[in-house]
Chain A
Amino acid sequence: MRRTKTSLPLEGLKVIEIAQGIAGPHCGRLLAAFGAEVIKIEPPRGDWSRIVGPFLQDDENIESSATYQYNNSGKKSVVLDIATSKGMTAFKELVSTSDILLEDWDLSDRELLQISNNSFTDSNSSLIEISLTPFGLSGPYSKFTSTPIIQLALGGYLYLTGLPEKEPLMLPGHQPDYLTGLNGNGAVQIALWERDQTGKGQFVEIAMMETLATLHQFTMEMETYEGYVRNRNGNLWQRESAFSNYGITTIECSDGHLCFGISTEDQWERLCVMIGKSEFLEDPQYATRAKRRNNATYLDSLLKEWVGARTREEVMVEASEIWGLPTAPVLGVSEVLEDPQFRHRGLFVEIEHPVTGKTTFPSFSFKTQDMIPVLNRAPLLGEHNKEVLI
């Protein structure tokens, strides 16, 4: 995409990011990509994600964390210890001339640092402060600590993943943090929309647990409308309730697994024809979704037979192009990087870093026509101390 440089929508905005880890930084990454100046404030030992793996080099050092590099593209790094009064004074000065503050102080931090919810927005009325914490700033869990598995557990995700009766499984990496970062970006954009009209900023609180609790399709409705506990079903879909269905399943091919996402009646009908079982369409045993779901083991075996010794790609092409059925290969990490669709889309980009060299990271899930986000490398610890503080 070679085009003349056009201005980006967040140019001219100054963002102070003192939030560490993944949630706040992932949000800041989006702001930086669209032109905001994002100044990342790190404690002397660095953002904690600098010591979280995976690492890009065998030598695990604070500049080689993939988690840090991915989420801190295009930012400036400034080291300030706000636990000291000098550090706090410098920090407050930076915030006083900024547009957006991304922070992750929970109640205990706020008490320690003597920061109230309106400390910053009172003295800078156009400031948008986004508070990103595990449980929010009130309520019985507000001093609880968490890691991704704890968030997934309390947010109702963990219970839904895995085989029935077996230990519930966590989603990979830091999903609650990423989701909260995306929610944080939504919050920033909503508050900016309002500020662009009124000139006034605001304090916006986001709790990770509540973020997850709003990201359920029908989990709570199974209880409130039908009285079912939604449970985990391995690679199959619900057995009970109005959401019972067959056709969301995973089948082994010659070179790995393929996921089927058959969810509508017309897709079910085509599935039956595809596997040579048109008679199922008249068979009372398959008359309802619940009945099909109860026959899942048998239906899986028929589908497996139909798949035969073919590869994931061969099956996907036939199922998609001839039968109009949603399928996709279950890809491993290195396979995702090579997937032809993602390659065509330019999903992955190579970023050069002075310590770790070239690394390929995802860009963004969206493609925009005339507003091309910029992805620059993550900063070294304290790389911009001079530029920002002097």
Chain B
Amino acid sequence: MDTAKKPNGSLSGLRVLDLTRVWAGPLATRIYGDYGADVIKISDPRVPLVTENGLNSKLNRNKRNIGLRLDKSEGRNIFLELTSISDVVIENFRPRVMRNLDLTYEILIQTNPHLIMCSMPGFGLEGPYAEYPAFGTTAEALAGIPGLTGYDSSLPISSGMAYGDPVSGLNAVGILLTALRQRNITGKGQFVDIALAASPACNLGEFFGASSSNGYKPEINGNKSIQYCPHGAYKTKGDDEWIAVSVIDETAWCALVDVIGDTDLKSEKYLLLGNRKKDESFIDGRLSAWFESQESSDAMIQLQNSGVSAGIVSNNRQLLSDPHLNERGFFVDMDEPRFGVKRYDGQSILGNFVDKSNWTTTRDVGESSKEILVELLGYTNADCKKLEQEETVLFQ
């Protein structure tokens, strides 16, 4: 056995056919791409890639792209040929789409019995809502996220960010590699169905456990916490600038009171969580009055240095200029062909991923069609010409 790290990333040698769109699926395959897998994105040649808003560019780096009409028999054949030399096929259409294309798992394993296929529909492949369309926001609603979020119980509040998607994407990353490990042991392929709506529910396990056991019903009360006090976001100096503060114990409480120098809060009774909870709105009022005149970043550093958990409520601009993320080299600057250098989030799993200097920007629809057909499948230039004329494959 070779004892050195794999030079081209942990997942080099793994091939993934990526039919996913929007967020959840592309997020999962982006992690594979960052780690050196050969991710081949299959795009419909009739649909131009939107790059003006940065979303596709952010999520589809380090992937190749073939523009392929799956609804044409020649195109479908090419897809099957690619399937025969791939480890994973991943898609997030509504269930009927792959059925209509006659590209279900049952069909694909006839071509490649070792294949891992993953479908990521909104509600799962079976069940009463299976064919219903879904979106990240509706998925999180069914899972109970907005039902537990709000200023009070009268109005549930969505996450504001289609939370079903990122949770599902992370679930896919792990489970597909687990399935691949199983395949390496048994030699058999595997089908994986990830429901967008089920993913956030699995991040609320304790709520369901307690509800099933003793009817636990959490109070919907803004950022208030039953175990910590004070706990919330406080307005600071500047336009819509805030700081989050979370006092976890007596020591942190004393440190907070010292920092803001409020003698009224120095009272011995407030050493007890129960008494702080009782007077929470009074305490919040005093804190708000103090924070109002503070710069959020300065207050965060002062509080953290004194042992109080605090953090500025970063907006996108602050996130991009965050000193911690920048010092750690978290971001990546990529030279986009149409837009110049753009800064994106890098990789959060700091293992053996492909060196950032070798990362590639998002390929346009069909940009890798030729190399894939010629180098991977042995097509000739004449074959490619014909496929182009028939509008089965787009070459760019």
Contacts and interface: CB of A to CB of B under 8 A. Distances in A.
B382 interface: no
A234 interface: yes
A328 B139 contact: yes
B206 A54 contact: yes
Interface string B177-202: 11111101110101111110111011
A65 to B, nearest CB: 8
A213 B135 contact: no
B136 A199 contact: no
Contacts of B133: 261, 267, 320, 324-326
Interface stretch (A89-97, A178-186, A295-303): A178-186
A387 interface: no
Given A175-B203, A359-B213, A231 B351 contact: no
A65 B227 CA distance: 13
Contacts of B57: 221
A198 B314 contact: no
16 contacts: A9-B179, A54-B206, A66-B210, A170-B223, A182-B167, A183-B348, A193-B180, A207-B328, A213-B325, A214-B346, A221-B53, A332-B147, A336-B208, A342-B142, A350-B212, A368-B193
B203 A326 contact: no
Interface in A135-161: 135-136, 138-147, 149-161
A169 interface: yes
A340 B132 CA distance: 14
Given A171-B159, A182-B170, A190-B11, A230 B316 contact: yes
Interface string B355-391: 0000000000000000000000000000000000000
A330 B141 contact: yes
Contacts of B84: none
Interface residues of A, number: 163
A162 to B, nearest CB: 6
Tell which of B181, B248, B304 has the most Cβ of chain A within 10 Å. Answer: B181
Interface string A326-357: 11111111111101111011011010000011
Contacts of A234: 157-158, 160
A356 B213 CA distance: 8
A105 interface: no
Contacts of A243: 53, 55
B316 A229 contact: yes
A370 B190 contact: yes
B112 to A, nearest CB: 15
Contacts of B195: 345, 347, 365-367
A167 B309 CA distance: 18
A172 B1 CA distance: 47
A286 interface: no
Interface residues of B, number: 154
A54 B216 contact: yes
A272 interface: no
B159 A160 contact: yes
Interface stretch (B61-69, B75-83, B121-129, B267-275): B121-129
Contact of B144 (A135, A325, A331, A368): A331
Given A66-B207, A135-B324, A335-B144, 9 more contacts: A54-B207, A153-B313, A167-B232, A187-B351, A213-B345, A243-B55, A326-B135, A336-B143, A342-B197
Nearest to A200: B3
A259 interface: yes
A161 B330 contact: no
B208 A348 contact: yes
A291 interface: no
B344 to A, nearest CB: 7
A45 interface: no
A358 B348 CA distance: 37
A116 interface: no
Contacts of A210: 325, 328, 330, 348
A316 to B, nearest CB: 8
Contacts of B174: 30, 182, 185-186, 188-189
B377 to A, nearest CB: 25
Interface in B263-308: 304, 307
Interface in B148-187: 148-151, 155-163, 165-175, 177-182, 184-186
B52 A242 contact: yes
Contacts of B324: 135, 139-142, 154, 209
B181 A150 contact: no
Nearest to A65: B206
Given A34-B178, A167-B222, A205 B350 contact: yes
Contact of A341 (B127, B180, B319, B347): B127
